[in-house]
Amino acid sequence: MKRKQALWLLSFVIAGCGGGTQPTAGGGSLQVGSAGNAKFTYSGSAKPQIQTAENGLSVTSLAGVSISSFIVDPAQTNTNSALSYGSPNYTLATYQNGVVQPITGGLVSDAYCSQFGHDGHVYMGTRHSDESRCIDRAYYDGSGQTTIYTTTGHAVWNISVSPDDSKIAFEELDNGVYTVTSSGTNLTTIDAAGSEPAISPDGTKVAYVKTIGDYTQIVIQPIGGGTIAQLTTDSDNHGYPTWSADGNLILCDVDDGSSVDIASFVSEPGSNFGTFYAEYLIPAYEWVSHAALSPDGKYLACLVSPSYTPTSLNLDIIGLATNSDQEIASNASDPAWSPYFANRTFLGTSAYLYSSAAGFLYTQLQTGFDSLLAFTATTPSDAKCTLVSQPGASGPFLYDLHADTITGIKYVNLYYSNPITLTPNTSDALVSIDSTTGQIATIAPYVATRGGALQAKSGALTFTAHFTGVFDAHGKNLAPSGASQLVLDPKHGTMVSVTPATP
């Protein structure tokens, strides 16, 4: 395939997802509040308080009430989706709302590839410290990692997950394309000579790469097995198929021997099946490969290089309608875009955090979820959430949680992440929120001491109290023996140092 006119705009329509349910007010003193994309139901006389930063971050707080539900129904925009990719030395990361989050875990020695399910997990091809090759599943931040399937020794590459999360297609290096259930059972061979599988949006078919004659071509097979249909037939090498959201097109790499570009072909059955549709060119690059479409079809994540013989590839996000080009990472591989977030119940019946809470802190940057903290207390009506310090052009939000006894704190810093649970059993907890990311940076439960106050000393934020611990964004206790003084970074609110508690 030779270069043609650069086409930036995909002409097929990506359908958006609908919204979720919202709580309704009940009788008596039950009230309904809202904050950005969140709706919550509570009883009590306190009112939600909203603080904003110059970058558009909003922090909503409420305490001293009984919160019976908290539901987030995200806006269907790209700020509510994530991009995963491979980094050097066989590590993985996610990019979301301008924040890069490593996907880490104690099980993994190397991680080769990743793909998002529709259940809030990332599925990864990994090598464990015991040399086993596996498919693992974790939340977007790498927490809650579990092994789903262990191979007979071949490395797992190019994972694809069905829309109902029931099946996973994957390539075993030099050993073909297979499917397995999400519980790791019913291993099925798709093609022992295939590679780079991609499950269709309706979950019925698998597109993959197969050498036919002198060239690698894209073929399609029913996911349960059956007749193979050859999609591409020209004298170029093809790779890394990905489906449009409506299933009518397949985008793939096309290597004509002098450049690699991304093209699309009609995958809808009928007389036009296999017809060339469009070529998506970026004039500055001779290598454009491994397409990943955003959920709305407006952005293309891909690997690029100005050279046809690259030593490394950058990960860029291309605006198909705007000609924008944003570099996300260098020396990257295997981009994959998550689907839109589904609505989620964080507080309430069968909820993600608590069935009820005495207070919460909720942060949202533009239309993107950033963090949610909820806490419980012995006497919910006595609970308070007080703003200690609000940033100007920069700096953290600082809040003091207070109650007769704070019995529990749970928080998440990503929409899909494993909740972090603390049991303070203290009267107070200091919470810092990074105003650049909207994420919780530090939580320090404490018992107030005489003269304890916020001070600005040597460009830092200094607190004096009897701190029982200092927990970071991931729940790690940075002061397990306690502390009498805590110094926070004045820009992000992370811990700089502590003075150990006096025995």
**What is d(CA 157, CA 179) in angstroms, rounded to the nearest whole number?**
12
- pTM for the full model? 0.82
**What is d(CA 398, CA 493) in angstroms, rounded to the nearest whole number?**
8
Q: Beta strands 276-280 and 460-467: pairing type?
A: unpaired
**C-alpha separations of 182 from 139, 150, 159, 167, 317 in Å:** 15, 12, 12, 5, 30
Residue 311's contacts (CB-CB under 8 Å, 6 or more residues apart) are none
What tokens does 55 get? 């970058």
What tokens does 221 get? 């097979």
pLDDT of residue 108: 66
> Strand pairing partners for 444?
430
CB 440 within 8 A of CB 412: no
Residue 353 reports pLDDT greater than 70: yes
pLDDT of residue 419: 93
Tell me phi and psi for residue 382, to 5 degrees: -90, -5
CA 183, 186, 191, 193 torsion-angle sign: positive
Across the range 369-375, mean pLDDT stands at 95
pLDDT of residue 414: 86
**What is d(CA 47, CA 220) in angstroms, rounded to the nearest whole number?**
56
Place of tokens 């007389």: 271
pLDDT of residue 283: 84
Closest residue by Cα to residue 237 from 203, 202, 213, 205: 213
pLDDT of residue 170: 96
Residue 241's contacts (CB-CB under 8 Å, 6 or more residues apart) are 196, 198, 207, 208, 209, 218, 231, 250, 251, 252
What tokens does 94 get? 């996610």
> Strand pairing partners for 299?
319
Across the range 357-383, mean pLDDT stands at 94
Closest residue by Cα to residue 399 from 412, 409, 414, 389: 389
pLDDT of residue 101: 83
Q: Where are the beta strands (DSSP E) in 311-367?
A: 314-319, 325-329, 333-337, 344-347, 357-365
**What is d(CA 268, CA 265) in angstroms, rounded to the nearest whole number?**
9
Residue 474 reports pLDDT greater than 60: yes
Q: Give the amino acid at 189.
A: T
- Other residues' Cβ atoms within 10 Å of the Cβ of residue 34: 12
pLDDT of residue 97: 76
pLDDT of residue 24: 34
pLDDT of residue 26: 35
- Mean pLDDT across the chain, nearest whole number? 88
Choose the most confident range, by mean pLDDT, from 15-24, 141-150, 346-355: 346-355
Which range among 16-20, 141-145, 156-160 shows the weakest confidence by mean pLDDT?
A: 16-20
Over the stretch 396-425, which tens digit does the pLDDT of each residue have?
A: 999 999 999 999 999 999 888 889 999 999
Q: Identify the three-state secondary structure at position 435.
A: coil
pLDDT of residue 9: 33
pLDDT of residue 107: 60
**What is d(CA 372, CA 362) in angstroms, rounded to the nearest whole number?**
5
Q: Give the amino acid at 484.
A: S
Residue 144's contacts (CB-CB under 8 Å, 6 or more residues apart) are 138, 418
pLDDT of residue 29: 78
Over the stretch 449-469, which tens digit does the pLDDT of each residue have?
A: 665 445 545 566 899 899 999
Over the stretch 17-50, which tens digit does the pLDDT of each residue have?
A: 333 333 333 334 799 999 999 999 999 999 999 9
Residue 327 reports pLDDT greater than 90: yes
Residue 260 reports pLDDT greater than 90: yes
Residue-wise DSSP of 450-482: TT---EEETTEEEEEEEES--EETT--BS-TT-
What tokens does 88 get? 């050097």
Residue 331 reports pLDDT greater than 60: yes
- Other residues' Cβ atoms within 10 Å of the Cβ of residue 316: 22
pLDDT of residue 44: 94
Over the stretch 124-140, which tens digit does the pLDDT of each residue have?
A: 999 998 899 999 999 88
pLDDT bin (cut points 50, 70, 90) of residue 448 is confident
Across the range 471-480, mean pLDDT stands at 95
Closest residue by Cα to residue 86 from 121, 119, 122: 122
Q: Burial letters for 458-494: b for 16+ Cβ neighbours within 10 Å, e otherwise?
A: eeebbbbbbbbbbbebeeeebbeebbbbbbbbbebbe
Over the stretch 183-242, which tens digit does the pLDDT of each residue have?
A: 999 999 999 999 999 999 999 999 999 999 999 999 999 998 889 999 999 999 999 999
Across the range 157-178, mean pLDDT stands at 94
Domain boundaries, the chain: 30-75+345-500, 82-337
Over the stretch 98-129, which tens digit does the pLDDT of each residue have?
A: 788 888 655 667 888 999 998 889 999 999 98
Over the stretch 42-93, which tens digit does the pLDDT of each residue have?
A: 999 999 999 998 888 999 999 999 999 999 998 888 878 899 999 888 889 9
Per DSSP, 343 falls in state P
Closest residue by Cα to residue 377 from 51, 96, 46, 152: 46
Q: Could you tell me what percent of the chain has a pLDDT over 90?
A: 68
pLDDT of residue 282: 85
Residue-wise DSSP of 255-303: E-SS-EEEEEEE-SSSTTTT-EEEEE--TT-SEEEEEEE-TTSSEEEEE
Closest residue by Cα to residue 41 from 349, 260, 405: 349
For residue 393, with 0-12 CB atoms within 10 Å meaning exposed, 13-18 middle and 19 or more buried, which class applies? exposed
| CATH number for domain 82-337, candidates 2.40.110.10, 1.20.1630.10, 2.120.10.30, 2.102.10.10 | 2.120.10.30
Show contacts of 23-28: CB within 8 Å, 24+ apart: 23/68, 23/69, 23/71, 23/348
pLDDT of residue 377: 98
Residue 14 reports pLDDT greater than 70: no
Residue 10 reports pLDDT greater than 60: no
Q: Identify the three-state secondary structure at position 22.
A: coil
